[in-house]
């Protein structure tokens, strides 16, 4: 036995954005279930059609970013869709490729170049679009900066005027080439690559010199003791400030 139900007033049934008027006719529960099932299938097909339409609007947008004057590639430039977080960057050779949509505004930017825009054209045939985009170099001129070893220019001027510079070039040369000054500079100056290589070869030669025999023990060497006593008298082992 099928139980019927009367809808006293006009109602609207909504299934996945499909609105259908239900008149005040006598509908059984089975008829209502069939109607809802049909509407569900229709909404599923409509969703797939809408997805296909969205996919049809997508474009594989690729190209190369070059400089305007020499056509050299611009590596690691940023390409963003305006007002969104979608985009990509160019590789070392200036090449890029990503998915875009027609009428998207693309913003090209890179350090040392002026930022510019490009709008993906509408009505393209096919789903691929290639572009060679040129960018103009932007030169930024910085203000002049004067660096002083003193906090203020006034203190620098005072210290500069107080310098006692000899007028004789020979005296300046003797002062710069004095043994004490050169020894002080030699102690504070680190070894370069050539000196390190020479020291390493000397250590290797010392090892080969005593290969197959015992190294001499200077504990019983009178010459070594004499050199040690002289160094002790000179104060070579005292702590230096």
| pLDDT tens per residue, range 215-237 | 778 788 888 899 999 988 888 88
- Residue 148 within any structural domain of the chain: no
Residue 140: inside a domain: no
- For residues 184 and 207, state if they share a domain: yes
Report pLDDT for 204. Answer: 86
Q: According to the model, what pLDDT value does residue 21 have?
A: 45
Question: What pLDDT was estimated at residue 90?
Answer: 92
Same domain? For 30 and 11 the reply is yes
Q: For the chain, what is the domain count?
A: 3
Q: Tell whether 130 and 195 lie within a shared domain.
A: no
Whether 212 is covered by a domain: the verdict is: yes
Task: Extract the residue ranges of the chain whose pLDDT is less than 70.
Answer: 1-56, 166-167, 240-241
Prediction pTM value: 0.41
Asked if residue 185 belongs to a domain, the reply is yes
Cα 139 to its chain centre, rounded Å, is 21
Q: Do 90 and 117 share a structural domain?
A: yes
Measured between alpha carbons, how far is 194 from 183 in angstroms, rounded to an integer?
19
The per-residue pLDDT for range 132-141, each reduced to its tens digit, is 999 998 887 8
Domain assignment present for residue 100? The answer is yes
Task: Round to whole Å and give the CA distance between 83 and 182.
Answer: 64
List pLDDT tens digits, range 80-111.
999 888 889 999 999 999 999 888 999 999 98
Q: Tokens standing for 231?
A: 């160094």
Question: What is the residue range of 45's domain?
Answer: 4-56
Are 64 and 127 within one domain? yes
CATH of the domain at 107: 2.60.40.1120
103 and 119 assigned to the same domain:
yes
66 & 40 share domain: no
Residue 175, domain member (yes or no): yes
In degrees rounded to 5, what are phi and psi of residue 23?
Answer: -80, 165
Whether residue 93 lies inside any domain: the answer is yes
For residue 229, what are its two tokens? 């006593």
Residue 241 within any structural domain of the chain? no
- 164 & 222 share domain: yes
Do 125 and 86 have their domain in common?
Answer: yes
Both 168 and 222 in one domain: the answer is yes
The full length of the chain comes to: 241
Phi-psi region of 76 (alpha: psi -120 to 50; beta: other; left: phi over 0): left
Distance between CA atoms of residues 9 and 19, nearest Å:
16
Task: Give SS3 for 104.
Answer: coil
């Amino acid at each position: 036995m099928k139980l019927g139900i009367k809808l006293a007033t006009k109602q609207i049934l909504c299934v996945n954005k499909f609105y259908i008027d239900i008149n005040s006719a006598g509908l059984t529960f089975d008829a209502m279930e069939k109607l809802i099932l049909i509407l569900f299938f229709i909404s599923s097909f409509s969703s797939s059609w809408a997805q296909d339409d969205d996919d049809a609007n997508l474009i594989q947008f690729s190209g190369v970013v070059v400089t305007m004057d020499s056509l050299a590639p611009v590596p690691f430039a940023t390409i963003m869709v305006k007002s969104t977080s979608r985009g990509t960057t160019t590789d070392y050779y200036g090449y890029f490729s990503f998915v875009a949509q027609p009428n998207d505004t693309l913003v090209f930017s890179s350090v040392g170049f002026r930022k510019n825009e490009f709008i993906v054209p509408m009505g393209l045939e096919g789903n691929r679009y290639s572009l060679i985009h040129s960018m103009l170099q932007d030169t930024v001129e910085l203000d002049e900066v004067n660096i002083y070893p003193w906090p203020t220019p006034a203190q620098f001027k005072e210290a500069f005027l107080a310098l006692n510079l000899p007028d004789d070039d020979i005296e300046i040369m003797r002062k710069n080439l004095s043994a004490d000054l050169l020894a002080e500079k030699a102690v504070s100056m680190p070894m370069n690559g050539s000196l390190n290589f020479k020291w390493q070869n000397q250590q290797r030669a010392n090892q080969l010199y005593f290969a197959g025999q015992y190294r001499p023990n200077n504990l019983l060497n009178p010459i070594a003791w004499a050199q040690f006593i002289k160094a002790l008298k000179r104060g070579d082992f005292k702590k230096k400030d």
